């Protein structure tokens, strides 16, 4: 049973470049979450979707960040333009719609903006 799949695992790019992170949730899961993890701020929820619809994006730091979920099996988190302070590990997680189900996490994308 495949878990949550994220790509790329590592991304190094220069400041000002566009960055796109990808996530494939577990098949059948209704919820998808994007998190950012840093040493300073810990694990932060950026945005989450239910049935491909964004429900809460209040955690998105600024307009440079955007997320989409065009279908039930794919989501992207885009940063444009990127800045050094965006360097972090970005996690995607998914969950079944049934109450009391745990969130399943991908292995994350380690993003470094130079």
28 scored as a contact of another protein (CB under 8 A): no
91 scored as a contact of another protein (CB under 8 A): yes
105 scored as a contact of another protein (CB under 8 A): yes
Token pair for residue 68? 């989409």
Cα distance between residue 62 and residue 82, in whole Å: 11
Closest approach, Cβ 81 to another protein, in A, equals 27
Residue 61 DSSP SS3: coil
42 scored as a contact of another protein (CB under 8 A): yes
Token pair for residue 112? 């470094």
Which range in 14-22, 68-76, 80-88, 98-106 contacts another protein by CB under 8 A? Answer: 98-106
Which residue do the tokens 């960055």 mark? Answer: 19
């Amino acid at each position: 049973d495949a878990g949550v799949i994220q790509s790329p695992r590592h991304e190094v790019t220069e400041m000002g470049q566009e960055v796109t992170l990808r996530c494939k949730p577990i098949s059948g899961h209704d919820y998808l979450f994007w998190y950012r993890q840093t040493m300073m701020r810990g694990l932060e929820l950026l945005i989450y979707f239910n049935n491909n619809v964004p429900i809460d994006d209040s955690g998105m730091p600024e307009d440079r960040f955007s997320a989409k979920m065009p279908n039930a099996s794919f989501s992207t988190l885009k940063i444009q333009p990127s800045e050094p302070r965006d360097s972090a590990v970005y996690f995607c997680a998914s969950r079944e719609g049934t109450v009391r189900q745990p969130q399943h996490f991908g292995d994350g994308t380690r993003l470094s903006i130079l």
